Amino acid sequence: MLGLRFTVAGAIMFAWEWVRLRPRITLGQWRGMGMVGALMLLGGTGGVAWSEQVVPSNIAAVVVATVPLWIAVIRWVFLRHDRPERVTIVGLLTGFAGIIMLVVYTSGPSAAEGYGLGLVVLGFSTFLWSAGSLYSRAADQPDSPALGISMQMLVGGLLNLIVGILCNGGSMVPLAEVSMRSAVALAYLVVFGSIVGFSSYIWLLKKTDPALASSYAYVNPVVAIILGWLLAGERLNMGSLSATAVILFGVILIVRGTVRPAARSS
């Protein structure tokens, strides 16, 4: 499903850009965009998808929420970027603390016990996603952002398909077994999860500070809580509301920390 989703989304965007622009794509651009796709969509998203077969989604949300922290560390330690603003660091830690609070209030403090390998893979996957996010800013790519993103999704999607087929003994799900509900769900993921969602994230990485772009990892669990309350009748308690407030406060601090340097430079 994951590989098919990104392959279809990448093919649609690539075909559109090809008809519209008739671009000349170099081998270096394929190499750069392919590396981004491999890091983010195979190593990152693919690793998370595998891990969530054994790790509960709420625990996975905590580990995935380390993406903004990883991005800050990689930029500062490995890329020799300026140290993040103090308010940004406080915001990153505050948002992560809020995610931990959210899991503790909804699942209990021992919820992560017994998922050793899954947690290790999750942690490594978030590192690869973070590294790919930063590499996407500097990689050789076409002039058209949409074309570059389509190349990332094509390569990442095909790699996921290959790995999925190999892990499944070389077989695929017969089309006759695909229900209409599954097809609609796949179409939703192709359009909103990949073409809209992934493209928006890559665009934001180029237009804003990576710490701000990656703060989506803090907001996603909050959105899930609200949708569960609105659509599934799940109950809200003071603990989850308090954790939500802490997360949003952390995001506000991140925004302030990323706006300050821009204001000073201008």
Write down the mean pLDDT value for the chain: 85
> How many Å apart are CA 55 and CA 226, to the nearest integer?
22
Q: What is the pLDDT of residue 240?
A: 78
Q: How far is CA 251 from CA 98, 133, 187, 241, in A?
A: 10, 19, 31, 15
Q: What is the pLDDT of residue 255?
A: 78
Q: What is the pLDDT of residue 110?
A: 54
Cα Rg of the chain (Å, integer): 19
Hey, how many other C-beta atoms are within 10 angstroms of the C-beta on 226? 13
Residue % of the chain over a pLDDT of 90:
40
Give residue-wise pLDDT tens across range 82-114: 777 888 889 889 988 888 887 777 666 555 556
Give residue-wise pLDDT tens across range 132-187: 999 999 999 999 999 999 999 999 999 999 998 888 776 666 666 778 888 898 99
Residue 37 clears pLDDT 90, i.e. is over it: yes
Q: Do the beta carbons of residue 251 and residue 110 sit within 8 Å?
A: no
**246: alpha, beta or left, given left = phi > 0 and alpha = psi -120 to 50?**
alpha
Q: Do the beta carbons of residue 56 and residue 111 sit within 8 Å?
A: yes
Could you tell me the residue ranges of all domains in the chain? 2-55+115-207
